[in-house]
Amino acid sequence: MSGLLLVTAVEAEADALRAGLTTDAVTVAAVGVGPAAVAAGTARLLALAEAEGRRYDAVISAGIGGGFTPRAPVGATVLATSSIAADLGADSPAGFLSLDELGFGRIAVPVDAGLLDTLRAALPHAVVGAVLTVSTVTGTAERERALAERHPDAVAEAMEGYGVACAAAGAGLPFAELRTISNPIGPRDRGAWRIRDAFTALTAAAAALG
């Protein structure tokens, strides 16, 4: 795949992707942690490229994340069907109200169908489903259950996909999200995290992309 911009949160994720790529036609950039930082950083990269006359063909949010057990176990590769801003909304006595329910917009951005088909062909063993974007990583069983109930099609959570999706949409470019799973979503237990395994899987996924 050529003409791609792969956006990560941190340099360690970017390095894992670069280790697997075999072409210079794919650009990898780490632009910051969280939806706001990554949206701003991605939009800047896209604007600079367009100003220089080298518009990208597509944008992929890539990196590691947490997986909903048993749908996306540690070490799995995940492809998003949509990126969902899972905690964008308001609390209320009746429970959480999403941006959609408040009437201020939508929290789910579907990925480009053609780009997803291409990624699925390159990564046939990937788990496919919605990926949640959160500003606070889930660390309790109660929050894990609440997210799973609100988003029954979700397979993973991370902190950047929705922000990258907004930047790509603003530039009129196809968007997708790729994650490799470093930890199960639920009670925070750093001893259960397998970040090295997730980086290895990220390198393997990049090798399949070109």
- List the one residue out of 7, 5, 68, 15 whose CA is nearest residue 196: 15
pLDDT along the chain (210 residues), means of 10: 88 97 91 96 96 93 96 96 94 86 90 97 97 95 93 97 97 97 90 90 92
pLDDT, position 102: 86
Q: Report yes or no: 174 and 59 within 8 Å, Cβ to Cβ.
A: yes
The Cα–Cα gap between 17 and 14 comes to 5
Domain residues for 53? 4-209
Please give the full DSSP string across 96-113, using - where no structure is assigned: -EEHHHHTS--SEEEPPH
| CATH number of the domain within which 72 lies | 3.40.50.1580
Specify the pLDDT at position 1. Answer: 60
Q: What is the pLDDT of residue 82?
A: 97
Please report the pLDDT score of residue 105 as a whole number: 85
Q: What is the pLDDT of residue 2?
A: 57
What pLDDT score does 19 carry?
A: 96
- Token duo for residue 185: 């979503």
Q: In this structure, are residues 180 and 12 in contact, taking their beta carbons and an 8 Å threshold? A: no
Distances (CA, A) of 187 to 1, 66, 79: 38, 12, 24
For residue 197, give the 3-state DSSP assignment: helix
Residue with tokens 């176990």: 73
Tokens of 132: 């949640």
Tally of domains within the chain: 1
